[in-house]
Amino acid sequence: MATLDDVDRLVAELPEVTTGTSYGNQAWSIGGKVFAWERPFSKADIKRFGDESPPEGPILGIRTEDLGDKEAVLAAHPKSCFTIPHFDGYSAVLVQLDVVAADELRQLLEDGWLVFAPDAVAKEYLSSD
């Protein structure tokens, strides 16, 4: 189980990340591009769930490289990652923080960061592991 504080701690390990807000919610970006953000459900989102209960707890949106990568992430992390109709055609997944493991969250955030990280920064970071 992870929290937004855990997200903050994990993204602090990534170079050149800034913390801010997007649509009034906490967000993390690199080079002015948001790669992860708190994503509460809107009334319209909840309505689309119909009789099904929406996932509980804090939800995090994380960018993926492209739609193919999104499908791969969803297939690899079926318990913690999901999508909703609002995200159809958008390269991002939603992560249920109440169920995601810490190492899984770290990898998802790193992958999201890599989507927008400048090549030189990404190469230096990856070579330091």
Q: Is the residue at 129 inside a domain?
A: no
Structural contact between residues 7 and 28, judged by C-beta atoms closer than 8 angstroms: yes
- In this prediction the pTM is 0.93
Q: What is the pLDDT of residue 5?
A: 94
Answer whether residue 87 is part of any domain: yes
Residue 81 domain-assigned (yes or no): yes
Structural domain for 35, as ranges: 4-121
d(CA 38, CA 61) in angstroms, rounded, equals 6
**Is 93 domain-assigned?**
yes
Q: Is the pLDDT of residue 129 over 80?
A: no
Strand segments, DSSP code E, in 5-115 are 17-22, 25-30, 33-38, 59-63, 81-82, 92-96
Number of domains in the chain: 1
User: Which domain CATH number covers 74?
Assistant: 3.90.1150.30
Q: Would residue 101 count as lying in a domain?
A: yes
CA distance 111 to 105: 10
Tens-place pLDDT, residues 9-68: 999 999 999 999 999 999 999 999 999 999 998 899 888 888 888 888 899 999 999 999
What confidence tens digit (pLDDT) does each residue in 90-123 have?
Answer: 999 999 999 999 999 999 999 999 999 999 999 9
